[in-house]
Amino acid sequence: MAESKKDIRGIKQDDLITFFEEIGEKKFRAKQVYEWLWAKGANSFEEMTNLSQKTREILSEHFCFNDISVDEQQFSSDRTIKTRFKMHDGELIEGVLIPTSSRITACVSSQSGCSLSCKFCATGYMDLKRNLTAGEIYSQVVAIKEQADEHYGQNLSNIVYMGMGEPLLNYKNVLESIRHITSPQGLGMSPKRITVSTAGIAKMIKKLGDDDVKFNLALSLHAANDEKRSKMMPINDSNSLEVLTEALQYFYDKTGTRITLEYIVFDNFNDNIEDAEELYQFAKRVPTKVNIIEYNPIEFNDLMNARKDKFEAFVNHLDSKNLIVNVRRSRGKDIDAACGQLTVKKEA
């Protein structure tokens, strides 16, 4: 029965070896299947042309592809492409292709919905539906990689786990997806081209250090005092700045990787020089760089970007402290594809 079939992308290679031995096939067939799954991005057994028709039929009897499919695409005036993906159970997620003059970036989701309720993020106003599997995350990357080639004739250069959901609350599947993306037997991308962004789950940040991950880590900060941050990000109530500082230092000591702090400057909330100084005092405690991000309005709140003069004064204060500061301008705002705007709207 179809219900009893296992998702082929959820099967470990050793288990595939056992499967092939049990049906009287050579165990190297498992390696061939894995190459089709993770290096070539196959999404059907019929594509596995170096397997006999009989072997493909046996695989089809026991396994299935719980893959994602493109449900809708939107194209921005700045060449950003937002894709709504439908998963095998009907749940919807969004992923974004972000092209610039220097790179082609895939922004991928790790959950359908989110449980953290950050005030500035549209996904936070959705209910959490479920975690994505490693295969579903990987399939987003493959689909966006194909878009980059089809529309712009370029290879995917970077991946950011900054789409829908909190990656560190789907820890196992996120790391498994990165393993396949970076493996020579998978997509072969450098882990230094991958950034995982978290709202700040301290114990999981420490686990990243224990697991000696090679990818980059970004902390969604947005205020460097607990009272303000808790108003914007309820997760701060259980993961205070002091606790996060300890976790970030632990991560750095284990991995040697500088952490990126992400900070949106909101009008009349965190846009004063005092706020900039608090950010500096926080940033200097751990080797970091700071990305100042433009706010992208959503329908669920009345937050606004800081005024231009206050924004510039804020950035200038950080620059005067010799911090590494980058100002990131939004891409894809006209199609609600920019940072914080991803959500799945209910059909009318």
**Residue whose pair of structure tokens reads 């009287």 in the numeric block:** 24
Q: Which of 94, 136, 176, 294 is catalytic?
A: 94
The angle subtended at Cα 221 by Cα 269 and Cα 211, nearest 5°, is 170
Q: Which of 64, 114, 118, 339 is catalytic?
A: 339
CA distance 132 to 178: 13
**What residues have CB less than 8 Å from 227, skipping those under 6 apart?**
none
- Tell me the Ramachandran region of residue 332: left when phi exceeds 0, alpha when psi lies from -120 to 50, beta otherwise: left
- Cα 74 to its chain centre, rounded Å, is 19
Known active-site residue 61: no
Q: Are 196 and 109 in contact (CB under 8 A)?
A: no
Measured between alpha carbons, how far is 318 from 214 in angstroms, rounded to an integer? 28
Residue closest to 106 by CA, chosen among 135, 71, 144: 144
Assigned token pair, 48: 């596995």
CA distance 126 to 133: 19
Q: Cα(first)–Cα(last) distance of the chain, in Å?
A: 35
Instruction: Based on the residue annotation, tell me whether 339 is a catalytic residue of this protein.
Output: yes
Q: Cα separations (Å) of 219 from 30, 53, 100, 146, 162?
A: 39, 49, 23, 29, 11
**Hey, what are 29's tokens?**
């067939």
Catalytically annotated residues: 94, 339
